[in-house]
Amino acid sequence: MSDEKQQVSRRQFLNYTLTGVGGFMAAGLLISPIRMAIDPVLKESSAGDMANVGLSVDDITEEPQRIDWTIDQVDGWYESEVNRAAWVYRNENDEIVAFSPVCKHLGCVVSWEGSDQHPNEYFCPCHDGRYYKDGTNVPGTPPLAPLDEYVQEVRDGMLFLGEPKPRGEA
């Protein structure tokens, strides 16, 4: 018993070998399907293009106005035009602000002065969510964050909007 080492029995050796070979084959078989399945997660999004929304900066007032435009959307093999909307106004510092109308509570669509009881606020009809004129959510109403702001740019006096981003990131 002096040369007692950690002996691997024949059975163990066979088990390890078969598990190893089997695992290798299974991995080889599954790697491509799995890579294909997770492709949407790893794909870089093509979003970020700015679209001319057809609004001259001269027409932007201190009163938020709703603008609608369409963008070309490529969804896999399907290309289509989809509608976008924004509430645009000029704030007290004379800066242009464009809010996404998507409520930060559960994604309904908000309107400026959408409720007679709440003047000078954005109003969401689904659960009475409210936001002040600067997009900040009214405390005590369902939304927990201010309205998203569109990435914006002015070219030749026209307003161009990109993707909506949470406040502070636009």
Q: Is 30 in the site for another protein (CB under 8 A)?
A: yes
Looking at 5, 42, 107, 117, which residue binds another protein (CB under 8 A)? 42
Looking at 39, 58, 116, 156, which residue binds another protein (CB under 8 A)? 39
Query: In 3-state terms, the chain is what percent helix, strand and coil (to 5)?
Result: 20, 35, 45
Determine contact, residues 78/86, Cβ cutoff 8 Å. Answer: no
Q: From CA 10, how far away is CA 21, in angstroms rounded? A: 16
Q: Is 27 in the site for another protein (CB under 8 A)?
A: no
CB 35 to another protein: min, Å: 4
What's the length of the chain? 170
Q: Is 18 in the site for another protein (CB under 8 A)?
A: no
Choices 27-35, 111-119, 126-134, 144-152 (CB under 8 A): range interacting with another protein: 27-35
The residues near 106 (Cβ < 8 Å, ≥ 6 apart) are: 126, 127, 142
Residues in contact with another protein, shown as a per-residue x/- string from 54 to 93 under the rule CB under 8 A? ----------------------xxx---------------
- Is the CB of 35 or the CB of 66 nearer to another protein? 35
Looking at 6, 33, 58, 156, which residue binds another protein (CB under 8 A)? 33
- Is the CB of 1 or the CB of 42 nearer to another protein? 42
111-137: string of b/e by CB count within 10 Å (b at 16+)?
ebeeeeeeeebbbbeeeebbbebebeb
Identify the DSSP state of 63: S
Distance of CA 71 to the CA centre of its chain: 16
Q: Is 9 in the site for another protein (CB under 8 A)?
A: no
- 153, β-bridge pairs: 160
Residues that bind another protein (CB under 8 A): 29-33, 35-37, 39, 42, 76-78
